[in-house]
């Protein structure tokens, strides 16, 4: 903090004063960083976890938190609590919440973890997200960033991907809603040679990937191979997965 004194002097006269609010706080702006490490101890013994510290840091400005969970299911619960604060009126937020819950549900199912409370909570959360998402679907089959807004192809592809992930996890999803969404996406597909920007090609790859994951691959997706040198790394990876799914 800083104590300020303001003074004035003219000839034999002088006076001084301090701010009525007292000392002024001095705040240092910083960008906090978090380093996390996790592992499983399958049996009694030791495990070494190395924590990386930034090259410049304030010794008394950090903290170390250690969490031990008796099972994978118990560790998952605390992470899912974060999702409850997502705004429910946003399509993307609903999808992100749905995907996280669906993947957790798949872990419980495929590994045979017994956690009736977690399973019941997951099923309720998944059904709540699905209901919200399907209610916000537009008449053209797509979704906007908010319910009632104009459909956006990239976001709609994300929704189709999320709904197909839910289906693959054994969750019942309205087939008619997915079909309408697929038809909307197919209508928005562009020819790769008409796109000049990398982000446009990346978006096109993502739409093809979402359609393939939902069971409706498009033969025109093979034309993206000729544009591979113009793609970002993440869309190149999706394109590779797309081809692998078509022909391993």
Sorted by sequence, the CB contacts under 8 Å of residue 191 that are 6+ apart come out as: 220, 223
pLDDT at position 36: 76
Measured in whole angstroms, how far is the alpha carbon of residue 74 from the centre of its chain?
22
| Confidence at residue 82, expressed as pLDDT on a 0 to 100 scale | 65
User: Which DSSP helix (H) or strand (E) runs through 8?
Assistant: strand 6-10
Contact status, residue 174 vs residue 134, Cβ threshold 8 Å: yes
Q: How many whole angstroms separate alpha carbon 202 and alpha carbon 223?
A: 13
Burial of 22 (0-12, 13-18, 19+ CB in 10 A): exposed
Q: What is the pTM of this model?
A: 0.70
Burial class (CB in 10 A: 0-12, 13-18, 19+), 161: buried
Residues of the chain where predicted confidence (pLDDT) is lower than 70 = 71-88
Alpha-helical (H) ranges within 35-174 are: 72-81, 91-111, 116-135, 153-168
CB 166 within 8 A of CB 173: yes
């Amino acid at each position: 903090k800083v104590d300020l004194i303001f003074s004035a002097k003219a000839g034999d006269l002088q006076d001084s004063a301090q701010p009525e609010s007292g000392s002024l706080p001095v705040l240092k702006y910083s960008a906090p960083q978090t380093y996390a490490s996790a592992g499983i101890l399958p049996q009694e013994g030791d495990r070494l976890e190395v924590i990386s510290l930034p090259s410049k840091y304030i010794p008394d400005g950090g903290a170390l938190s250690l969490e031990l969970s008796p099972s994978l299911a118990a560790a998952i619960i605390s992470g899912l609590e974060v999702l409850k604060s997502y705004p429910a009126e946003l399509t993307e937020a609903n999808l992100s919440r749905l995907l996280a819950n669906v993947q957790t549900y798949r872990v419980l199912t495929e590994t045979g973890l017994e956690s009736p409370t977690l399973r019941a909570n997951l099923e309720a959360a998944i059904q709540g997200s699905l209901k919200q998402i399907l209610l916000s679907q537009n008449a053209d089959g797509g979704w906007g960033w908010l319910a009632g807004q104009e459909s956006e192809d990239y976001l709609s592809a994300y929704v189709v991907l999320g709904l197909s992930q839910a289906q693959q996890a054994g969750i019942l999803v309205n087939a008619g809603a997915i079909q309408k969404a697929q038809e909307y996406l197919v209508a928005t597909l562009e020819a790769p040679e008409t796109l000049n920007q990398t982000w446009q090609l990346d978006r096109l790859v993502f739409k093809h990937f979402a359609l393939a994951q939902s069971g409706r691959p498009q033969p025109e997706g093979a034309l993206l191979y000729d544009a591979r040198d113009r793609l970002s790394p993440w869309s190149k990876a999706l394109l590779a997965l797309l081809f692998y799914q078509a022909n391993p």
